[in-house]
Chain A
Amino acid sequence: MNEAFAVILVDSTSYALRIEKLLKQQGLACKLIPVPRHLSSDCGVCVRIQKQEADVIRTLLQEDQIHFLTIEDV
């Protein structure tokens, strides 16, 4: 398993849950975790994903018009 992660930062937990749902449907691994301290975010929760899948996921979210703030490496 590749241990390099990225996180999707969002406005609030509802958005994180919506993203989680979509990624699970698409068979993409993700996990909701507290936002790492060094990243500033407006929400306490973010979606952790595999770094190697970040680009695919970014496109997917944009295509589905699912709102997120940024995707950051961690």
Chain B
Amino acid sequence: MIPTATGFPSSKTKDGALYLDNAATSWPKPPGVAQAMAQFLAEVGANPGRSGHRLSIEAARIVYSAREAVANLFGAPDPLRVVFGLNITDGINLALHGLLRAGDHVVTTGMEHNAVMRPLRDLAQQGIEFTQAVCEADGTLDPHRIEEAIQPNTRLIALNHASNVCGAILPIRAVGQIARRRELLFLVDTAQTGGALPLHMENDCIDLLAFTGHKSLYGPMGTGGLILSERINPADLHPLRQGGTGSRSEREVQPDFLPDRFESGTPNAVGLAGLLAALEWLQEQGLETIRTHEKALCADLLDGLINTPGVIVLGPQDAARQTATVAFNIRGMEPSTVGLRLDEEFNILCRVGLHCAPSAHRTLGTFPDGCVRFGLGAFNTAEDIQQAVEAVRQLAKEAP
């Protein structure tokens, strides 16, 4: 269990509100994150790798160290196969738009975020087909459903490691093994699990791993990207953007080597300095320690909500089979009302509605009304959970 008293930031805002929206963006951040970013701006601040002077090289060194830290965390074959971008949405778009061609078929699931569904719907207009493997009503997936959806023209399997709505963990290793056996590429959206659950590109047979810095990696917004396994030839992936890279400057064609091929334009080096500090913090704490802590809190929250009359808990309802994200509804009360009252009367900040994932809500049976989501993080405490359960209990009592 993480010691919360000493040196750890509080999960309460300045005005005393309890932050339970970590599934959207983790907050607070480890103290070193803001410090590293401020220090980068104040002391380093030059354009990484564009110029040959000392400060530019120092900036590039920080970006490279962030690349190494990301590669280590996800078991990437090589830091240069880590492509930085704006966020995971950017990484997923690079993978899908960059890789797929007319005639290709993609297998995805009924639990995806719009970061996957919207690009796929757009690509469907350009002759790319996709099938959504059916998930269970608790958001989990039987890997056989993936196998059943494979067609002769299937090229890629794309899914999220865990649902951003109800936390359900999908069996990525089993799906990865199917992908390997059937000679398909495998894209994983790790938005909800990067840093929170063990993940390893090689062991999980992942060819394209998309990640975002601002959730359970505990870094700042504006960081994320895509990691390519050695099975991906950069030449087969079309860049989303072309432009200056600081390399091959005398030529007007996009470089073919990694990561420059996919990293045109000045990167968010300030953000990457923060992400590096966050990953160092994660390493220090140990993923296992954080997971144990979050799992215990999640179990308490599930227990409290399940035992509250009038509350319907969605998802696996089992801390071992989900991330520390819990979705629920109060019978007879709209999620938006619950959200507003939690905010105004109980000082609790969470996210209600459809969570950018209409598909997942259809699977869970909560479309179009949505639900209430509590996203826990490393800095939440047992008291936070008590406060949250108590608030929901009060609201449920008042519901018609």
A→B interface (CB under 8 Å):
11-15, 17-18, 21, 32-35, 42-45, 67
Note all chain B residues with C-beta closer than 8 A to A67. 257
What CA separation (Å) do A43 and B51 show in the bound complex? 9
Report the minimal beta-carbon distance from A13 to chain B, rounded to whole angstroms. Answer: 3
Contact assessment for B49 and A45 in the assembled complex, using a CB-CB cutoff below 8 Å: yes
List 5 A-B pairs, minimum CB-CB distance, nearest first: A34-B52, A13-B49, A12-B247, A17-B64, A42-B248
Chain B interface residues (CB < 8 Å from chain A): 48-53, 57, 60-61, 64, 67, 79-80, 245-251, 255, 257, 259-260
Find chain A residues with CB under 8 A from B61 CB.
17
Bound Cα distance from A70 to B287, whole angstroms: 41
The answer to whether B255 and A44 have CB atoms under 8 Å apart is no
B19 to chain A, nearest CB (A): 36
- Chain B interface mostly: loop
Closest to A46 in B: B52
| Cβ–Cβ contact B80 & A42, under 8 A | no
Query: Chain A's nearest CB lies how many Å from the CB of B102?
Result: 32
B249: contacting residue among A15, A18, A42, CB under 8 A: A42
Complex partner residue of A12 from B49, B52, B250, B251, CB under 8 angstroms: B49
Name the A residues within 8 Å of B251 (CB-CB).
42
Note all chain A residues with C-beta closer than 8 A to B64: 13-14, 17-18, 21
Q: Is the CB of A42 within 8 A of B247?
A: yes
A13-B57, A44-B50, A45-B52 given. 14 additional CB < 8 A pairs? A11-B255, A12-B248, A12-B255, A12-B257, A13-B246, A14-B80, A14-B259, A18-B79, A33-B52, A35-B52, A42-B247, A43-B246, A44-B49, A45-B49
Closest B-chain residue to A40, C-beta based? Answer: B250
Q: How far is the CB of B201 from chain A (nearest CB, A)?
A: 19
Residue of A nearest to B61 (CB): A17
The answer, among B52, B67, B259, for a CB contact under 8 Å with A44, is B52
Q: Report the Cα distance A35→B249, complex, angstroms.
A: 13
Please name the residue on chain B nearest to A67 by beta carbon.
Answer: B257
Q: A17 to B255, alpha carbons, bound, how many Å? A: 18
A contact residues around B259 at 8 Å (CB): 14
Is there contact, CB below 8 Å, between B49 and A14? yes
Q: How far is the CA of A32 from the CA of B257 in the complex (A)?
A: 20
Min Cβ gap B233→A in Å is 15
List chain A residues, Cβ under 8 A from B260.
Answer: 11-12, 14
Q: Which residues of B contact A14 (CB under 8 A)?
A: 49, 60, 64, 67, 79-80, 259-260
Q: For residue B53, which residue of chain A has the nearest CB?
A: A34
Q: List 22 A-B contacts (CB under 8 A).
A: A11-B260, A12-B49, A12-B246, A12-B247, A12-B248, A12-B257, A13-B48, A13-B49, A13-B60, A14-B67, A14-B79, A14-B80, A17-B61, A18-B64, A18-B80, A32-B52, A33-B52, A42-B249, A43-B248, A44-B249, A45-B60, A67-B257
Minimum CB–CB distance for B255 against chain A, Å? 7
Contact between chains at A45 and B57 (CB < 8 Å):
yes
Q: How far is the CB of A63 from chain B (nearest CB, A)?
A: 16
Closest Cβ of chain B to A15, distance in Å, is: 7
Q: Is the CB of B79 within 8 A of A13?
A: no
- Pick from A11, A17, A32, A34 the residue with the most CB of B within 10 Å: A17
Q: Are B80 and A43 in contact (CB under 8 A)?
A: no
- Residue of chain A at shortest CB distance from B60: A13
**Whole-angstrom distance between the alpha carbons of A24 and B79 in the complex?**
17
Q: How far is the CB of A68 from chain B (nearest CB, A)?
A: 12
Write the nearest CB–CB distance from B170 to chain A, whole angstroms.
33
Contacts of A15 in B (CB 8 A): 80
Nearest CB of chain B from residue A59's CB, rounded to whole Å: 21
What residues of A have a CB within 8 angstroms of the CB of B246 in the complex? 12-13, 43-44
A32–B245 alpha-carbon span in the complex (Å): 18
Taking CB as reference atom, which chain B residue is nearest A17?
Answer: B64
* Contact partners of B79 in chain A: CB under 8 A: 14, 18
For B57, what are the chain A residues with a Cβ–Cβ distance below 8 Å?
Answer: 13, 32, 45
How far in angstroms is the closest Cβ of chain A from B212? Answer: 21
CA distance in complex: A57, B228 (Å): 28
Q: Measured between alpha carbons, how far is A32 from B260 in the docked complex, in Å?
A: 19
Quick one: closest B residue to A31, CB to CB?
Answer: B57
**A13 contacts which chain B residues (CB < 8 A)?**
48-49, 57, 60, 64, 246-247
- Given the complex, which residues of B lie within 8 Å of A34, measured CB to CB? 51-53
User: Smallest Cβ distance from A45 to chain B, in angstroms?
Assistant: 5
